[in-house]
Structure 1
Amino acid sequence: MQSLLPLVLDAGVPMAMYFILSDGFGLSEVAALGWSSVVPALRTVWSLVRRTGVNGLALLILVVNAVGLATSTVTGDPRLMLAKDSVTSSVIGISMIVSVFLGKPLMTAGLKPFVTKGGPDGEAAWDRLMAGSAPFRRAERRFSLIWGTVLLTECVVKAIGAYTIPVHTMVWLGTVLTLVAVLLSMVVAGGSCADPMEKMVKAEVERVADTAAADTGTAVSASASAATAVGAAG
């Protein structure tokens, strides 16, 4: 639920606010879209304030939204305001893809706790697999690559829709596209990457446990044999 909260705030709340302000209070499309962008903007500002360091991605998204909102207000073009949402998706998608080629996949921070279940044995198995298993490393990179590609595709579709579909329709359709993109990423990346990685981690944990048990058994047998030999000698 904590991981889905940003999606609800950035997609669901603005959509609801738009229709309330537009249909309920009679605001223009530009004004309704502008005020409905306040919640995501405040959430981004709060995420920057509460962190000890500067989150470059969050800061970039905030700048993109601020520039898009200002430009749309000046031009009075609601379609431009809708298009800025696709720019935000593209920033996230491109960042994910670039992070893979830089060797620091962005989605690993959320993937690792899921795969390891947050336990010390699972985390130790993760580290061993990252160091010694090429298939495991490929799955880790592919996970972020899938998410980035899907979000970038969503960006293109929403950008086209912003200028070809009625604004009133695109407001809710854009939210639907975001939800579909997230669910598609979860299913595809989960099935092809997260699930196999979870099985590999589980197998590695069991292998280490079996090895430790075997070593303990061997040590006990050796001690018993030594004690028997000493008793016989006595």
Structure 2
Amino acid sequence: MSQLGTTAPAPAPATGTAAAAEASVRQSRWESLKPLVLDAAVPTASYYLLSKGFGMGTMAALAWSSVVPAGRTLWSVLKERRVNGFAALVLAANLVGLLLSLLAGDPRLMLAKDSGITATIGIAVLVSVAAGRPLMTVGLKPWVTKGNPLRTGVWERLIAERGRFARMERMFSVMWGVALFGEAAVRVVGAYTLPVDTMVWLGGVIAGVTITATVVVSGHLVVDPMEKKVSEEVAALGR
């Protein structure tokens, strides 16, 4: 009589741990990018949507686009007992825009108004570097760490060592602060020396060229070397 055996079911693939790890990475990435999205992207997109998309006046669009950074600044002061630097910066820039809008009867001043906002951001970024809290790190860190907890840990350690890695972190903000302030200065000069019709389109070209050039140069001099250093440190840990 033959013996009937039962075949044990194959073990289920261990996807639970992998899925949990992937979810953790996604959560870490979102937490890293959240300040940049909420404090910069949302207010900027809101301003252009309200002013260009819905035809709202400059002052009203600036006021409504300030709601998110104002709320986050107030929340950080009341709840966390600290100032949310990036949200406060965007709020301050919008307030400068509101003040300039009150004076904007002159078409040339209207052209220079956006430069006042950009200059405010550029100065604030440079001041933050001098204060030891570079504001542009809010965009740099997620790019380098990619939301990976291990890479984030390596980042924190390298920054704490205050060596070349930390200097590159500060350099990134310096480059953006100088670029933004320089772009604002060029546009103000153009607003008062070139024909208004020319500056209407040239202002956007100047801003686009400045941002593109700064992204390329800062990527080559700062972002790429920082990414490489973090990757080397992670590889040295054998993970």
Normalization by structure 1: what TM-score? 0.71
Separation (CA, whole Å) in 1 of partners of 2:43 and 2:61: 10
**Structure 1: gaps (5+ residues):** 22-33, 211-234
Q: Partner amino acid for 1:184?
A: A
- The corresponding residue for 1:194 is 223
Quote the RMSD (CA, aligned, Å).
Answer: 2.8
Cα deviation, residue 133, structure 1: 5.6
Does residue 82 (structure 1) correspond to residue 111 (structure 2)? The answer is yes
**Structure 2: gaps (5+ residues):** 1-36, 78-86
Cα deviation, residue 70, structure 1: 0.8
Please give the residue correspondences for 1:101-116 in structure 2 after superposition, counting only pairs within 5 Å. Answer: 101-116=130-145
Q: What SS does the aligned partner of 1:209 have?
A: coil
Cα deviation, residue 167, structure 1: 2.2
Tell me if the contact between 1:140 and 1:193 (Cα under 8 Å) persists in the aligned partners: yes
Tell me if the contact between 1:79 and 1:163 (Cα under 8 Å) persists in the aligned partners: yes
Separation (CA, whole Å) in 2 of partners of 1:133 and 1:62: 34
CA 1:113/1:208 → structure 2, altered by over 3 Å: closer, same or farther?
same
- The corresponding residue for 1:28 is none
Q: Partner amino acid for 1:177?
A: I
Q: Deviations over 1:154-205 (max 9, x none)?
A: 0110100111122233222222222222212111111100110000000001
Q: Partner amino acid for 2:144?
A: V
Separation (CA, whole Å) in 2 of partners of 1:7 and 1:138: 29
Q: Partner amino acid for 1:53?
A: S
Tell me if the contact between 2:90 and 2:121 (Cα under 8 Å) persists in the aligned partners: no
- The corresponding residue for 1:25 is none
CA 1:88/1:170 → structure 2, altered by over 3 Å: closer, same or farther?
same
Q: Deviations over 1:102-140 (max 9, x none)?
A: 110001111111101111110111112112361101110
Please give the residue correspondences for 1:40-189 in structure 2 after superposition, counting only pairs within 5 Å. Answer: 40-49=62-71, 52-53=75-76, 55-72=87-104, 76-132=105-161, 134-189=163-218
Cα deviation, residue 8, structure 1: 5.8
- The corresponding residue for 2:26 is none
Q: Which has the higher helix share?
A: 1
Cα deviation, residue 7, structure 1: 5.7
Of 154-163 and 42-51, the range deviating more from structure 2? 42-51
Q: Deviations over 1:16-70 (max 9, x none)?
A: 67xx98xxxxxxxxxxxx9356434432234323662363222321221111111
Tell me if the contact between 1:89 and 1:151 (Cα under 8 Å) persists in the aligned partners: yes
CA 1:93/1:136 → structure 2, altered by over 3 Å: closer, same or farther?
same
Separation (CA, whole Å) in 2 of partners of 1:184 and 1:136: 22
Separation (CA, whole Å) in 2 of partners of 1:191 and 1:6: 29
Tell me if the contact between 1:97 and 1:148 (Cα under 8 Å) persists in the aligned partners: yes
Of 169-178 and 44-53, the range deviating more from structure 2? 44-53
Q: Partner amino acid for 2:66?
A: T
Tell me if the contact between 2:183 and 2:207 (Cα under 8 Å) persists in the aligned partners: yes
Tell me if the contact between 1:12 and 1:175 (Cα under 8 Å) persists in the aligned partners: no
Q: Which has the larger radius of gyration?
A: 1
Does residue 35 (structure 1) correspond to residue 67 (structure 2)? The answer is no
Separation (CA, whole Å) in 2 of partners of 1:143 and 1:13: 31
Separation (CA, whole Å) in 1 of partners of 2:162 and 2:76: 33
Cα deviation, residue 10, structure 1: 5.6
Q: What SS does the aligned partner of 2:237 have?
A: helix
Q: Deviations over 1:77-124 (max 9, x none)?
A: 111122121111111001111111111000111111110111111011
